[in-house]
Structure 1
Amino acid sequence: MSSQVAKQHAEKQEVIKVKDSDLPLHCPMPEQTLWNQHPRVFMAFDNDGRASCPYCGNRYQLIK
């Protein structure tokens, strides 16, 4: 997948909202289906409470 296609794919994905109780944040989340899982990766949030998975492009938003 080219970087442009990956970027377009990520832009179409819905943002997954997470709470403090979901921390530490890792992708894939436990409720995701088995067929699309990748190695677990832990992510840090940026200053705006956003994080993005480097494997699948899932986008996360921390809700305070």
Structure 2
Amino acid sequence: MTRVNWRKSTYSGGEAAQCVELASLDGSVGIRDSKNPHVPHITIGREALASLLDQIKSGHLNL
């Protein structure tokens, strides 16, 4: 079993911050809640993640 290296942004503001963590998986990216690391994560393709981030940064999503 390969150990997965979960990472969160240095901008997350410490341990109590509400943020997500990302991990590089075989050809995809895992996304999980940093406050609940033991619950299942979601997996998304790298291109889909890049598109999602572009939409968030450009303000096209109502978040």
Normalising by structure 2, we get a TM-score of 0.26
Normalising by structure 1, we get a TM-score of 0.25
Higher RCO (C-alpha under 8 Å, 6+ residues apart):
1
Q: Which structure has the larger Rg over C-alpha atoms?
A: 2
